[in-house]
Amino acid sequence: GAGVSQSPSNKVTEKGKDVELRCDPISGHTALYWYRQSLGQGLEFLIYFQGNSAPDKSGLPSDRFSAERTGGSVSTLTIQRTQQEDSAVYLCASSLFRGGAITDTQYFGPGTRLTVL
Amino acid sequence: AQKVTQAQTEISVVEKEDVTLDCVYETRDTTYYLFWYKQPPSGELVFLIRRNSFDEQNEISGRYSWNFQKSTSSFNFTITASQVVDSAVYFCALSGNNNAGNMLTFGGGTRLMVKP
């Protein structure tokens, strides 16, 4: 079946502009995650959605970052007033969520490479 | 807090050599999961294996094998008879049961270069 898709694959923007990154999870996966991969920080968790529950925003680096998930499927990560340090690859992942002591495998999309000039 | 350490930042081998990628983790959780992902030059993270902390059996899948040792908090990955296509960055990751969202804590990654 189709995997996680992300768009755009590349985004170049000017400092101070807002950007929106999109993620389409695997059909049937109720959990959706955003991570960021940068040279200095490695792979770091940003935000997590599960079903209709309030998202876990504990990994967002500043209030310029926000995300939403419409209809329990597609998610958009928005970065306002972009800064050069926001340059990174933004990865989306999805998984089943059986809860309890079970951790299901997260499957990743190809990522969006964001460059802030 | 959880932590994953991959001490080897880069490894270079010649094709057909065996290579082991080390992963050491720290967690206070009683139940946790360990993962390995491969990131080829294309950039996408490809899932390789998921292991429950209660299952210490080693696993073999073709040329890949994994050695999980709870006593040393290690989850090492061995590639036998390496091939050029194995060249990639490999990430070890951890998720614990105190983590309601099961989000992953990643190691810094090991870049493996297999030369023909």
- What tens digit of pLDDT does each residue of A84-109 get? 999 999 999 999 877 666 678 999 99
Q: Which of residues 51-90 of B touch A (CB under 8 A)?
A: none
Q: What is the per-residue pLDDT for A36?
A: 97
> DSSP letter string over chain A?
----EEE-SEEEE-TT--EEEEEEPPTT--EEEEEEEETTTEEEEEEEEETTSPPB-TT-SSTTEEEEEGGGS-EEEEE-S--GGG-EEEEEEEE----TT--PPPEE---EEEEE-
Is residue A117 scored above 90 in pLDDT?
Answer: yes
**Are A48 and B91 an interchain contact pair (Cβ–Cβ within 8 Å)?**
no
Q: What is the per-residue pLDDT for A21?
A: 98
Closest residue of chain A to B30, computed from CA coordinates: A101
Q: What is the per-residue pLDDT for A52?
A: 80
Q: Which of residues 66-105 of A touch B (CB under 8 A)?
A: 89, 91, 93, 95, 97, 101, 103-105
Closest residue of chain B to A106, computed from CA coordinates: B47
